[in-house]
Structure 1
Amino acid sequence: MSGKITNGGPITLHRNDLPDGLDLGKCVAVDTETMGLNPHRDRLCLVQLSAGDGSAHLVQIIPSEPGGKPADCPNLKRLLSDPTVLKLMHFARFDVAVLQNTLDITVAPTVCTKIAARLVRTFTDRHGLAALCRDLLGVEMSKHQQCSDWGAPELTPEQMAYAASDVLYLHALWAKLEALLIRENRRELAQACYDFLPARGRLDLLGYEEPDIFSHRA
Structure 2
Amino acid sequence: MTVYLHEGDLPDGLDFGASVAVDSETMGLRFRRDPLCVVQLSSGDGNAHIVRLNRPDYDCPNLKALMADRGVLKIFHFGRFDIGMLELHLGVETGPVYCTKIASKLARTYTDRHGLKDVARELAGIDLSKAQQSSDWGATELSQAQLDYAASDVLHLHVIKERLDAMLVREGRMALAQACFDFLPMRSRLDLEGWDEMDIFAHS
Correspondence 1:117 to 2:109? no
What whole-Å deviation, never above 9, does each CA across 1:14-55 have from its counterpart, x for those lacking one? 011001111111100000000011223210000000010000
Q: Counterparts of 1:22 and 1:168 in 2: how far apart (Å)?
A: 17
Q: What residue is the counterpart of 2:6 in the other structure?
A: 14
Q: Which has the higher helix share?
A: 2
**What's the CA shift for 1:90?**
0.2
Q: What residue is the counterpart of 2:21 in the other structure?
A: 29
Q: Counterparts of 2:89 and 2:104 in 1: how far apart (Å)?
A: 28
Q: What residue is the counterpart of 2:87 in the other structure?
A: 100
Local SS of the residue matching 1:166: helix
Contact kept? 2:21, 2:44, Cα under 8 Å: yes
**Normalising by structure 2, what TM-score?**
0.98
Q: How does 1:166-205 map to 2 (within 5 A)?
A: 166-205=153-192
What whole-Å deviation, never above 9, does each CA across 1:122-147 have from its counterpart, x for those lacking one? 11111011111111111111100000
Q: Counterparts of 2:63 and 2:164 in 1: how far apart (Å)?
A: 27
Q: Counterparts of 1:101 and 1:184 in 2: how far apart (Å)?
A: 36
Contact kept? 2:58, 2:89, Cα under 8 Å: no
* CA RMSD between the two structures: 0.9
Q: Which runs of 5+ in 2 are unaligned?
A: none
Contact kept? 2:74, 2:96, Cα under 8 Å: yes
Q: How does 1:124-139 map to 2 (within 5 A)?
A: 124-139=111-126
Q: How many residues align?
A: 204
Q: How does 1:40-119 map to 2 (within 5 A)?
A: 40-63=32-55, 69-119=56-106
Q: Counterparts of 1:172 and 1:71 in 2: how far apart (Å)?
A: 31
Letter in 1 for 2:109: T
Q: Counterparts of 1:16 and 1:213 in 2: how far apart (Å)?
A: 37
Local SS of the residue matching 1:206: helix
What whole-Å deviation, never above 9, does each CA across 1:179-203 have from its counterpart, x for those lacking one? 0000000000000000001111110
Letter in 2 for 1:136: L
Letter in 1 for 2:194: G
Contact kept? 1:40, 1:98, Cα under 8 Å: no
Runs of 4+ in 1 over 6 A off after TM superposition: none
**Normalising by structure 1, what TM-score?**
0.92
Q: Counterparts of 2:31 and 2:173 in 1: how far apart (Å)?
A: 29
